[in-house]
Structure 1
Amino acid sequence: MDRIYRVADGRRIEGVTRPVFIHNFSYHLTGLQIYADGAIHCWEWVDLDGLRRKLDSGWVVTEVPEGAEVSAFELGRWKTAEASFGLTAEMLLGEVADDIERLNDRPDSTDRCLTRLDRYLATRDEDDRRALREAYLAIPEHKRHYALGDMDRKDGPLVALATDIGEPPIGGWFQVEAITESMRDEALRYFAERDQARTEYANKRPADDPEKPVAGTVHLGGRVFPKGPPEKAGLDVLQDEFPAPIEVGGVVYPSVSHAYWALSTADRGARERIREAETPSEARKLAAESARVEGWPDARTAVMAGLQRAKFAQHPRLAAILLGTGDAPIGYGGMDSDHWATRGDRGRNWSGRLLELVRSELQAQAAGIEIPGSDARPSGTSLR
């Protein structure tokens, strides 16, 4: 199915399409358009009852007779030979009715059946079992064996509950003449074991998960310090722009941002001018006027990771503040690059992600956990 929509009276109405044949002299494969307001287009506008009439009249069909001519959009024409079709008119009507429910975020026939199942399992009341039977039969026939989502048992346990004792199975894959009391009991055991397994799965946590839920997101970025940072800068000290001098390759830079932009250019003179810039913003502007180091876009994330490690290794007080964020996700805003920042559903947030990485490394160090390969560096790499 494809998602579609139409606009009516200034509002967007969601829809889906289903393939059907229109019989208009020859047979035409087309898309049956189904919308959330119940409108259905099959070369004419109808509702669900209208679609039934179109099926009864033969205007909409789900199969094509042997030897009939078929056209498919603009792809071509052919005649049917030994064709096989699996959808009846009633099945299609059931599918379309379910489409309309789902488009309105309402339970479809399978959802309603499973709700009835839960009620019966809770009450074991005969009236609730009869309601379960009706709800099961309301599912389009070709969809019933998917109701439980069990590829092995299909809908067998559901049929065993919905069918009266002594009655032939009303569906499913049973090869028996009638449902017995033992089959009913087996179905009840099936659902009890299923519910227990679901509960265990819902409560299961990966072995390396934290014991407590992850804290709420910490949001950074956007603050500048033209007159120097306040005495209590709080979490703003984690920003790349915060004036925390770092030494890289024997050169001291006023901030991570200064170092990043200086190292991004191949012009040695420009590097020094960037290093001496009064603010990170000025450093960025100076860097923009110079050529980038070859391959910089692919290397920049690794360079930033090294600079952040240097910052927190050389400033234990700032490292303590970073550690104080616990396991909270860090959202970094206030930058003009979607690579480094996040803005709602935009941005890759690499500055925030790298802060989380460095924080984890600091936590490992504090816990005495060795980080494999932490002393290794690929040959030829340098921050100089």
Structure 2
Amino acid sequence: MIGKRITHRTADGVRIPGTWRHVFIRNGGHYFLTDLFIYADGLINCWGLVTIEEFEEKLRTGWVTTSIPEGAEASAHDLAEWKFSEPRSWLTPELLLAEVRDTIDQLNRRPDSTGRCLAAVDAFLADRTEENRAAAHAAFLAIPASRRRYALGDMDRKDAPLRVLLAGPGGRTYVAADPPITQEVYDSALAYFEERARRRAERAERVPTDGPAASHAPAVHLHQTFPKEPLDDPGTVGLRTEYPAPITIGEADYPSVAHAYWALSVAQPELRAAIAAADSAFTARKLAAGAPRREGWEQARTAVMTRLLRAKYDQHPELAEILLSTQDATLIYDDLESAFWGDNGGRGRGWTGRLLELVRSELHARRTGIPEL
């Protein structure tokens, strides 16, 4: 289960999503409580990156261990150390390996053992042959035993309806304490799944009150570039802050948003004119880099950039149309000089892209007649 345990590593500039869980590593007779990092590309960090096959070997040899002997010494780095008394473990190496495999499936957004089981159950409910029941039962038993109770996502009934459905009338579940399944109990399980299907269909048709959480348009990547002349058809290049689209702010004129931003950022008024007159946005940034910033600039810079972007698209309707044409896409803006303004392969905060999306939303609101508050 990934839950809120989200992490990543970067390989060759690519962000690899991952998660983690606690495990014990046995090293030199001592047991260490540590984090096992699992990544979408199938690599696992257990004091070193290994493949799933190598991880299986780590489990077989006991480097990653699921059982602790009585009196074993253990520690958590820089936190505590202790000795075990009457230790009990909930996992076996096979269960841990199966859970890790499921986690890799989840990270890749493909069906894990639970998803495959529920698909087989749907196939059985659609065509209730004993062959389909057997296939669904096998898929159910392929879920790690530690996870079966959560297969339906029902914290009240757990997996009881699933056990009954797959055992069938007169059958026995894999739980030894369960009695033989009566027709009445089986009919109750069928009714459970019919109601579950009805609720799922309702959820699928339900439209979120305030609209979808995710954009429907594909993300737009605004790669870094420094054009010196306006283009007849700039496309999304025109959305860059350094694109030569002159704007007027108060009494001053600037060749681009970037020129205005860097000119306004410096403390010395006499330097602002030189930055505004720079032959390119790159030069404007370079001139500003060696000068002290205005007091409070760090806290005010997002507000300044927002106003500059509003001015750009108010004063250049043709560029506003390009921005509007991105619909609700996520705008991924690169700025290799700034991890604050640029997304930079997921390593930056990406504020320029966020502010462009804000201004785009304001343009949509204006076009559709939603009043300004």
TM norm structure 1: 0.70
1:364 aligns with 2:365: yes
User: Which position in structure 2 is the counterpart of 1:217?
Assistant: 219
The one-letter amino acid paired with 2:203 is Y
Structure 1 residues 199 and 344, CA, compared in 2 at 3 Å: closer, same or farther? Answer: farther
State which of 155, 178, 184 in structure 2 corresponds to 1:151.
Answer: 155
CA contact (8 A) 2:114 2:151 kept: yes
Instruction: Give 1:268 shift.
Output: 0.9
2:194 alignment partner, one of 192, 195, 199: 192
1:1-384 aligned at under 5 Å gives the runs 18-19=23-24, 36-37=52-53, 39-41=56-58, 45=61, 62=67, 69-73=71-75, 78=83, 80=85, 83=86, 85=88, 87=90, 92=92, 94-96=94-96, 98-99=98-99, 101-102=101-102, 110=114, 113-133=117-137, 136=140, 143-166=147-170, 170-171=174-175, 177-209=179-211, 214-226=216-228, 228-333=229-334, 336-372=337-373
Aligned-partner residue type, residue 207 of structure 1: T
Q: What is the distance in 2 between the residues matched to 1:329 and 1:104? A: 26
The change in CA–CA distance for 1:357 and 1:124 in structure 2 (over 3 A counts) is same
1:223–1:334 CA contact under 8 A, matched in 2: no
1:12-61 Cα deviation digits (max 9, x unpaired): xx999855999x9xx9756898972274447x8389xxx9xxxxxxxx99
Cα pair distance change 1:62/1:295, threshold 3 Å: same
What's the Cα RMSD here? 4.2
CA distance in 1, matches of 2:235, 2:301: 27
The aligned counterpart of 1:56 is: none
Distance 1:92 1:308, change over 3 A: same
Residue number in structure 2 paired with 1:378: none
Structure 1, 199-208 or 100-109: larger mean CA deviation: 100-109
Letter aligned with residue 128 of structure 1: N
Change (3 A) 1:136 1:20: farther
Distance 1:77 1:279 in 2: 63
**Separation (CA, whole Å) in 2 of partners of 1:233 and 1:359:** 17
Shift of 1:305: 0.5
TM-score between both structures, scaled by the size of structure 2:
0.72
- Partners of 2:181 and 2:285 in 1: how far apart? 77
Q: What is the CA-CA distance between 1:369 and the residue it aligns to?
A: 0.9
- Aligned residue in 2 for 1:380: none
Aligned pair count?
335
Whether the 8 Å CA contact 1:35–1:100 is kept in 2: the answer is: no
Check 1:85–1:337 CA distance in 2 against 1; reply closer, same or farther (3 A cut): closer
- In the alignment, the residues of structure 1 paired with residue 51 and residue 226 of structure 2 have an alpha-carbon distance, to the nearest angstrom, of 51
- Preserved CA contact (<8 Å) 1:159 1:172: no
Distance (Å, rounded) in 2 between the aligned partners of 1:173 and 1:371? 65
Deviation at 1:181, TM superposition (A): 0.9
| 2:258 partner letter | S
Structure showing greater radius of gyration is 1
More deviation, 312-321/286-295: 312-321
| Contact map agreement 1:36 1:103 (CA 8 A) in 2 | no
What is the deviation of 1:263?
0.6
8 Å CA contact retained: 1:155, 1:172: no
| Residues 19, 118 of structure 1: alpha-carbon distance in 2 compared, 3 angstrom cutoff | farther
Query: What SS class does the counterpart of residue 370 from structure 1 fall into?
Result: coil
Whether contact under 8 Å (1:246, 1:311) holds in the other structure is yes
**Structure 1: distance between partners of 2:111 and 2:283:** 58
Contact 1:238–1:318 (CA under 8 A) maintained in structure 2? yes
Q: Which runs of 5+ in 2 are unaligned?
A: 8-17, 37-45
State which drifts further: 309-318 or 100-109: 100-109
